[in-house]
Amino acid sequence: MRAIGGVALAAVLVTAAGACTPSEDPDRTVEIGIRHSRFEPDRAVVRPGEEVLFVIRNRDPIAHEFILGDEAVQQVHEDGTEAHHGAKPGEVSVAAGGSAETTYTFEGPSTLIFGCHLPGHYTYGMRGTVRIA
């Protein structure tokens, strides 16, 4: 029974991981660096319907995260306790000195926020915007 349960769990995890895999052919790639607990650049402009691959490169000696969404999404993460991200489009954890990728397809027009919600980071100003126009 345990072996069957373990195989089933592994299949679910592989399937879930596939849902998070960046598209093989996004419309474009946006690179965002992290340095001194700031995003560089901290602004981007995209088109409605555009699928964007975000490549996040963390140059800091501490971990960060990249959470993309409206103010309600940001508040959920500011109040939440998720230790790691990567299961949802637009949400990834980025290890110290590491990089991570996530894709997001934009609807709009509107403006979304990206931020890091590790303790104190968002309040410190670790955030940026994506304008959909």
Token pair listed for 112 = 């979304």
Q: 80 pLDDT band (50/70/90 cuts)?
A: confident
Q: How confident is the model at residue 25 (pLDDT cuts 50, 70, 90)?
A: confident
**pLDDT surpassing 50 at residue 6:** no
Class of domain 2-132: mainly beta
Cα–Cα distance, 128 to 40 (Å, whole number): 9
Residue whose C-alpha is closest to residue 32's, from 77, 92, 84, 73: 92
| Mean pLDDT, range 99-127, rounded to an integer | 96
Nearest to 114 by CA among 59, 46, 18: 46
Question: What average pLDDT does this structure show over 108-112?
Answer: 94
Contact 123, 75 (CB under 8 A): no
Domain boundaries along the sequence of the chain = 2-132
Beta strands in the chain (DSSP E): 28-35, 38-40, 43-46, 51-58, 64-69, 91-94, 99-105, 110-115, 127-132
Q: Which amino acid is at 50?
A: E
Tell me the average pLDDT across 74-97.
Answer: 89
Give yes or no for residue 2 having a pLDDT over 60: no
What's the CA gap between 25 and 66, in Å, rounded? 21
Integer Cα distance of 103 and 88 in angstroms: 9
pTM summary value:
0.79
